Every structure is written in structure tokens, then in C-alpha cells.
Amino acid sequence: MIDKGKKPNKEELAIRRANKKKRLVIEGFPLEQLIKAPNCGFKCPNGKSLGNKFNCGCDNCGEDNGYFQEKDKNRLSKEDFVEIESLRTENGWLGKNGCSLPRKIRSEVCLRYVCVEMTEFEV
């Protein structure tokens, strides 16, 4: 993990550039490809997590309503939303091993987010 309190060295700058490139590539992926794509490759909370915390920001899933936005309403059917609601827990859709939603009915925000700093995810 990069310490944001100090000036980055060449290696840290290279890592930041690579991660930014990964994010930009992922943003350009067709959504259908992301639905079929595997998760980051780690089981959550992964070995690079701090304790049982998730490094991906998914801890706020319930508070942020699964990160669903208006554009998700155009992609998902009424039946999809019934299934989504049936899987909701007190933590949103965050289970002990990560997201409990099938990839095809996750929000676009969740599909496009990959924790590139914490994984070896390759694009």
C-alpha cells in the first residue's frame, strides 16, 4: 500500500500509473464483458485486507443501496429487482465472502469497480 503522507518514489509512481491505466481500461469495457469477468481473484475479505475489513469500499453497500443508479433501472428488469431485494441483508448485499449478488444483477458501479491497488487483476 502506498503511504500518501510522503513523496512517492519511482516504484510507487509506476504502480500508480499502472493502476490508473487499469481503471481507465475497465471504464471502457463493455458492460457485458464485465458481467462475465471474474471477480478480482481474491475471496473477501482477502489476505491483503486489514483484519476483516474490505478494502474495496463494499462495507457501505447497505447504506448506499448497493450503489444502484438510474441507469441500472434501464438495464435490469422488474424481476431482477425482486431478486435483488430478496437477497438484501442488514449489510446490503455484502456477505462474509463479498457480494452476494450474481454479477448479472449487480449495479454498474460495482461491476466497473475493481480494487486494482489490492489485487493482481490484469486487463
Beta-bridge partners for 89: 92
How many domains is the chain built from? 1
Question: Is 4 part of any domain?
Answer: no
Which residues are CB-neighbours of 101 under 8 A, at least 6 positions away? 66, 84, 87, 93, 110
CA 92 to chain centre: 14
- For residue 84, pLDDT over 80 is answered with yes
Closest by CA to 58, choosing from 6, 107, 123, 121, is 107
Which pLDDT score, from 0 to 100, does residue 86 have?
95
End-to-end CA distance of the chain, in Å? 20
Question: Is 67 part of any domain?
Answer: yes
Q: What is the spatial distance between Cα 86 and Cα 84, in angstroms, rounded to a whole number?
A: 5
What are 45-65's pLDDT values in tens digits?
Answer: 544 444 555 656 677 788 888
Most confident range, picked from 21-25, 55-59, 75-79, 90-94: 75-79
Most confident range, picked from 11-20, 68-77, 96-105: 68-77
Which pLDDT score, from 0 to 100, does residue 68 have?
92
Question: Is 117 part of any domain?
Answer: no
Which residues are CB-neighbours of 44 under 8 A, at least 6 positions away? 54, 56, 58, 97, 98, 99
Structural domain range at position 32? 10-112
Question: Is 100 part of any domain?
Answer: yes
Question: Is 99 part of any domain?
Answer: yes
Residue with cell 457480494: 99
Q: What is the spatial distance between Cα 68 and Cα 60, in angstroms, rounded to a whole number?
A: 12
Question: Is 5 part of any domain?
Answer: no
Which pLDDT score, from 0 to 100, does residue 123 have?
55
pLDDT band at 87 (very low <50, low <70, confident <90, very high): very high
Question: Is 61 part of any domain?
Answer: yes
